Structure 1
Amino acid sequence: MSESDQRSEEPAAPSPAGTFRRRLSSVRRYTVQQMFRRPEHPWRAAVRFVVSLLAALAMAGIAVSIYPYRTTVANVDIVVSGSVTPAHKGITVDSSLGSLQFRDVTAVPLGLHVTPRIDLDAVREATNGGATFTTDFRSQLEDRIPSMVLHFAGAAIIGLAVGALIGDLLVDGAVSVLANRDPVRSGSRRHRLAATGTLVATSTVLAMVGLAATAGLTYRSDWWQRYAVTGLLADIAATPDKLAALDARDAGAADKVRAVLRLQDALTRPPTSTDTPPTAYNVMLISDVHRRDIYNYLQEYIDANDVRLIINTGDETLVGNTAELTGSYVDSIRRITETTPMIWIKGNHDSGSVARRMADIPGVTVLDQEVVAAMGLQIYGVGDPRTYGAPGDAGSDDVEVVTRVQTEAAVSAVENLNRETYFDLLLAHEPIMADAMATTLGPSVRAVGAGHVHNQNDTADLQSGDRDYIRLIEGTTGLGGLLAQGSTPMEFSILSVGTNCQYTRIIRYALADPALPDLTRGETYGNNSAFDVHYFQPQPIDAERTCSVDDGLGEPVPASATNLTTVQEWSSVELSDDALATPDEITPEPVSTADEAGDASIAATAGDSTPTQATDPSPSSTGTP
């Protein structure tokens, strides 16, 4: 082959542009295949990601906790710290006098804790400023919210990033120790740096997006409508007259209390955009006194809350013996009902003779399948069909028997009703019976009241979108009874009725012992009281309705009477054909189950300790009156 032919077969020299493109393509392949390809098993990669994410969340919680937000609001220095634990979620205002707690803000277990510095200057500002201080404090605190959110969001992001990096390094360290080698393969340093950066960024972004999405989806704009107060703050807020006594004993301490109370007022005042009607009057709900001398103590709460009506859902006695209603005990009830009327229904621990004895007390109205017009409300009450200690089904504690007896009694209690009657409040001692009657009657019931189970129902159960009526289940106002032992709190509630007959708010008290909140017992004062506040959503009632103390309390009439006000006049709800059906066409589906709270302890301890100086006529007097 000639030299010229050989030269013609040699490949042409690559151009500079072609060489650059080939090198660039090689770099891209290396970057994709080497820097972002994990040289480890999928399970190890999954463990690395999970550990990094958990470490990121833990470090974020630490970051928001140790890096507080400090500011001055209305000349009061405050410190806001964060927490990420389910037990401390929501917004709290903490002071040495007690706590104000808003727990129902979002499902995310994030807590913001405001601690005001109540020094001499703050006390002067609060006590001298009056309503102006309250308004200024709330307004300025709202102005600080954007910077507060940015502060804690920044701390959370830094914590997430640092935590994700720590988690990744922990996995590398574990691999190194367990495998006795460098977890980073030879020649893959760039890959590990890129992979670590990707992991940290991904964990941080996913955690932030997940938390923000959950918080946004579960955020409740009406969170301010549910809060709790504890400590000395609750003692004073519940019974304001105590502040005057404290002022006489220690004026400096009283001024400090006033300062914190003004802060509480600023934080719990409803927004100006709400259309909550003025309060016409307040109703006290009590139950399951079980013959404990608590009425003299309740008087100060009646006075402090301007209570105009008391509703008692039964179990006044322990074993249904009228001897339990001693002269002094009846006098303590009479002193209250002389000025504040009481509506009472029989519980399963009350006999027929106990019901008749209660009806003899001036100011006490006993209902049993009767309706009473009370200050603009229409209230229906039914006595309990069971009697504690009675033979047969009437005294049984078996859950199935109790459910059957209560459900049958519920159907019987409504079968003779005027089917167009509208009830503002339906009363039964046991929740299972109240729920069965409300289920049967449908939208003609606005609210039910009951007791029996010795515990108030959860706040979330008070008003639910799953049903039309409000559910008010009261705890034991008698702390489980005269002979009961343990730490059962004394529970009762204050229900506010608006001038348009809407139920606007309920305050639910839980007190450690009625003997403790006494200024002469300084070592216990401030550790006794706690209460929750809940605002109700308006119900669809007639716009022309009015409620007033001036309407007074009428005489009870049988629920089948034709002169009862009809639902069309009392409510904007249009009753369906099902709601107007006869009771046997509807099968009640009780929400609750039978719960004989307290019965076992009473049966075990009553014995000879029960008053026996008089006996009930037997056995017919132990039936329903």
Structure 2
Amino acid sequence: MPPTAPTRTPDRTRTRPWTTRAGRVVCAALLGVAAAGTAVVGFGGVDADVGPLTAQLHVVLSPGGGTEVDLAPLGRIDLPTHAGPLGLRARVEDVRAGEVGAFVEQGLTSGQAREQVTADLRTAVEDLAVRCALVGLLAAVGACALVFRRWRPVAVGAGAAAVALGICAVVATATFRTGAVTEPTFTGLLTRAPAVISAVADTGDAAEAHARRLGELTGDIAQLYTVLSEPEDDPPSDAVRVLFVSDIHNNPAAYEVMSTLVERFDVAAIIDSGDSTDLGTPAENPLHTAKSGFGVPYVWVRGNHDSNRTQEYMVTLPGVTVLDDGAITEVAGLRIAGTGDPEFTPVKQLQVDTGSEQELAGAGAALAEAVQASAAAGRPVHLAVVHEPRMAGPLHGVVPLVLDGHVHQRRSQVVEGTLELTQGSSGGAGLRAFDSGQALPLTMSVLHFDAGEGELLAVDDVTLSGPGQRSVTLERHDASSYAEDEAAAAGD
């Protein structure tokens, strides 16, 4: 018989580390800390109101600590507020535009405004700390109970989690620097922010600068009333008056001036050729609720800075008619056709030209076909609205009047019997003004139409200067003068 292999008896004196009492304590402690950390990072966020902002605060694992403010899609601000291992992240979810004015108009000094925001932020951080502690401890208890199913390891895990959270809180508190807010690091589009902050700082006080600008705007509007008080050679009293604006770019001052013009000229409708926003984000939408507050129809087409989400929001505003894909509407006795910009290019530096000329011309051609079809059906269109002048080419000779914007410079031309009016920037180019350090004038126009035929009779071009100039001008053009000026220029 072959020899029998010796059998090995298990060495019962060797034990696995986690089966000893000390091993179980260590494992429970590690599990509790890991569960607490995972829960805090995943479920420790809170929503808080800080001044006129709604922000989401949450804790993240960060060896360097610090505070990160996410202003997507503008970019990010990093502040070296405290040491790790936990960092604070804040994401701005909403800007309550209605409260911004009230916040400024309270007349707070910079110190008072800072105290109010700091108090809101302190309350938010306290709420965040309480939530993180509860979430972390519950996660530690739950994880240890699930694995060990004994009360002693559960107590050890919860205790270890509490100690770890306490140490992180002590480190953050001991290393916290209030002066870190003056040492921000910017990424994304916010790399332009230091120049903006410097410009505001030069005025001495940001809140007081806002208050002064509101005062200047009030003076500007009062001056605007004076300039418009006695216009000469008015068109017939029954003429239909339409306010033409474009490229507001988030500037609330535009709506103040528009309100004045609507009242003074007894405007029957407003036509907006787009670029109401800067980046087409939902956070910008509340800035434009004023569009439905004028008491007259508001016709709007999408610009290249307005996203599809912007357009979806405009559709929900009472009194606002969105024209796209060759849609035609009748407002104040005028048939208006329009289409949105086919491109969305809010940050052109980050995008590649993919044949925009063809896209723009194609959109204009599709609109021209819709205009011709309407005319063939016995419903001629009085004017067409697009955003970019490059969309207007196919409409020349098809419709009497084309309105557009985009270039932030007022101009006009007559081509094949079609008058094309290009508006400047009704919002002074909005945030784009910081690119050059100087705001553009706010430009708007009041168009006077014959009440019966819908023929353009005259145009009043209103120009309101930017900050520091504070001059208001009104220049009236008879409709026939555009063709005369074009002929005179061609003869020179």
Superposition TM-score, scaled by structure 2 size: 0.47
Higher strand share: 2
Larger Rg: 1
Superposition TM-score, scaled by structure 1 size: 0.37
Q: 1 or 2 for the larger relative contact order (CA 8 Å, sep ≥6)? A: 1
